[in-house]
Amino acid sequence: MAPKTRPCPQCRKPAATTDNPARPFCSERCKLNDLSRWLGGEYVISTPLPGPPGAWDHSGNED
Ligand SMILES: [Zn+2]
């Protein structure tokens, strides 16, 4: 049975998808590398929160 591999998101080297505790990365090192980038804020998502101002204007105001 040939081992399945996918490109490591970190270094693009083939990474085993089975029996690999660091998957989808090729190694623990790449996994930690990616994690530290996340924690470092490099992947900050700058999506504005939904909810226009005034959306609540009519709630609780039924007379
Ligand atoms: Zn890697």
Q: What are phi and psi of 35, to 5 degrees?
A: -60, -40
Query: For 21-35, how does the pLDDT look when each residue is reduced to its tens digit (9 = 90+)?
Result: 999 999 999 999 988
DSSP string, 4-63: PEEE-TTT-SEEESSS-TTTTSSSHHHHHHHHHHHHTTTT---PPPS--TTTTTTTT---
3 compared with 4, residue with greater pLDDT: 4
Tell me, in angstroms, the distance from the centre of ligand 1 to residue 26's CA.
Answer: 4
For residues 33-45, average pLDDT = 76
What single-letter DSSP state applies at residue 44? Answer: -
Residue 47 Cα to ligand 1 middle (Å): 29
**3-class DSSP state for residue 7?**
strand
Contact partners, residue 43, CB within 8 Å, separation at least 6: 37
- The arithmetic mean of pLDDT across residues 33-49, rounded, is 74
Distance 13 CA to ligand 1 centre (A): 6
